[in-house]
């Protein structure tokens, strides 16, 4: 802005006011720490003209490309084929603000008919939430198993009930010290899954121990291993661990094997989400299965209704199902 002011020989405050007006008129977008970007579309036209000129393209945003999302994306792709849609799949890097903003601007400028966003977790991320709110203002937006927001069409999963069922199953095996490795701090799933975990302990007559709850740094094998390592260093380590993701559970398994701890004889493990290859782990991993295929189909049908002018909806809560294998002590 200083360079523009010098070039035009005007006050920098005049340039700043002009930029603010251009942003208010949806001509440019400005983000802290980066340059202003001229939008590739007119917001008013995008709002009013979309239904009359469909492009048969939809956008699908996922936090990252991993096996965890493969079944969901496959179901969306199959549904898109039936609808005659071309799905544009975007990796958001855990919904990093500038990445999401860039994808939203690019997809709106290309005239996509609607947008699906899976696992947007960080409700307190005001900047990314504002970008998604802008997207919902411009085109139909379906949020799947995400933070509860006051815009877009919501498909909710009953994370509390899934966590409650998984933790109770570990307690039913006779374990008294059941630990919980949660999703990263600040994710809505962290509090929801912990609520179910705590409820199961209290219903079992146990007092929750904060030392047995560890938040993973991210959703990775390494994060699961590090969380398990901190739990096993306790003076009174856990007899069982419920992990808020199969990838975390597999990392915990990896660490326990390195410690020469037997699973499930020494420590039982339960995952969440059901990765496609969890049954191939050693031992096969028990998990609270997220109905990824059902969610993908439901996301596509909800988007179809939204594109056709349907009112804002909230579907669910969708239930998970317990898959018991050797890692929790079941045959």
pTM above 0.75, yes or no: yes
Determine, yes or no, domain membership for 107. Answer: yes
Q: pLDDT (tens digit, 9 = 90+) per residue, 160-204? A: 999 999 999 999 999 999 999 999 999 999 999 999 999 999 999
Q: 41 — phi, psi (to 5°)?
A: -155, 165
Range of the domain at 27: 1-38
Determine, yes or no, domain membership for 225. Answer: yes
Is 275 in the same domain as 311?
A: no
Give the span between the Cα atoms of 169 and 160, in whole angstroms. 14
* pLDDT value at residue 171: 97
Determine, yes or no, domain membership for 44. Answer: no
The DSSP code sequence of 183-246 is SPTT-HHHHHHHHHHHHHHHHTT----GGGEEE-SSSSHHHHHHHHHHHHTSSS--SEEEESSH
pLDDT at 105 over 70: yes
What is the average per-residue pLDDT within 247-261? 96
Peptide bond into 317 cis (omega under 30): yes
Determine, yes or no, domain membership for 45. Answer: no
pLDDT at 50 over 60: no
Report how many domains make up the chain: 3
Determine, yes or no, domain membership for 47. Answer: no
Nearest CA to 42 out of 127, 111, 136, 140 is that of: 111
Q: Can you list the alpha helix ranges (DSSP code H) found in 238-291?
A: 246-258
């Amino acid at each position: 802005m200083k360079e523009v002011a010098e070039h035009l020989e005007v006050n920098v405050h005049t340039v700043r006011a002009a930029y603010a007006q251009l942003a208010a008129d949806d001509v440019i977008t400005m983000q802290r720490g980066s340059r202003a970007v001229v939008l590739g579309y007119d917001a008013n036209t995008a709002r009013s003209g979309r239904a009359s000129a469909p492009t048969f393209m939809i956008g699908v945003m996922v936090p990252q490309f991993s096996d965890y999302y493969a079944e969901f994306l496959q179901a969306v792709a199959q549904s898109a084929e039936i609808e005659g849609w071309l799905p544009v799949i975007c990796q958001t890097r855990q919904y990093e603000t500038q990445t999401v903003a860039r994808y939203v601007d690019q997809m709106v400028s290309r005239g996509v008919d609607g947008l699906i966003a899976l696992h947007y977790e960080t409700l307190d991320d005001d900047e990314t939430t504002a970008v998604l709110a802008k997207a919902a203002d411009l085109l139909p937006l379906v949020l799947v198993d995400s933070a509860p927001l006051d815009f877009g069409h919501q498909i909710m999963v009953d994370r509390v009930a899934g966590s409650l069922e998984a933790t109770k199953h570990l307690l039913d095996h006779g374990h008294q010290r059941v630990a919980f490795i949660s999703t990263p701090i600040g994710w809505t799933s962290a509090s929801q899954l912990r609520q179910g975990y705590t409820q199961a302990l209290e219903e079992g007559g146990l007092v929750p121990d904060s030392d047995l709850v560890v938040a993973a740094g991210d959703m990775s094998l390494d994060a699961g291993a590090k969380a398990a390592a901190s739990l096993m260093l306790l003076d009174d380590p856990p007899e069982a661990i419920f992990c808020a993701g199969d990838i975390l559970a597999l990392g915990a398994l990896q660490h326990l094997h390195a410690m020469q701890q037997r699973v499930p004889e020494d420590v039982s493990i339960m995952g969440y989400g059901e990765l496609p290859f969890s049954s191939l782990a050693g031992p096969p991993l028990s998990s609270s299965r997220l109905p990824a295929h059902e969610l993908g189909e439901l996301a596509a049908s909800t988007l179809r209704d939204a594109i056709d002018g349907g009112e804002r909806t909230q579907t669910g809560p969708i239930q998970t199902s317990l898959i018991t294998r050797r890692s929790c002590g079941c045959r």
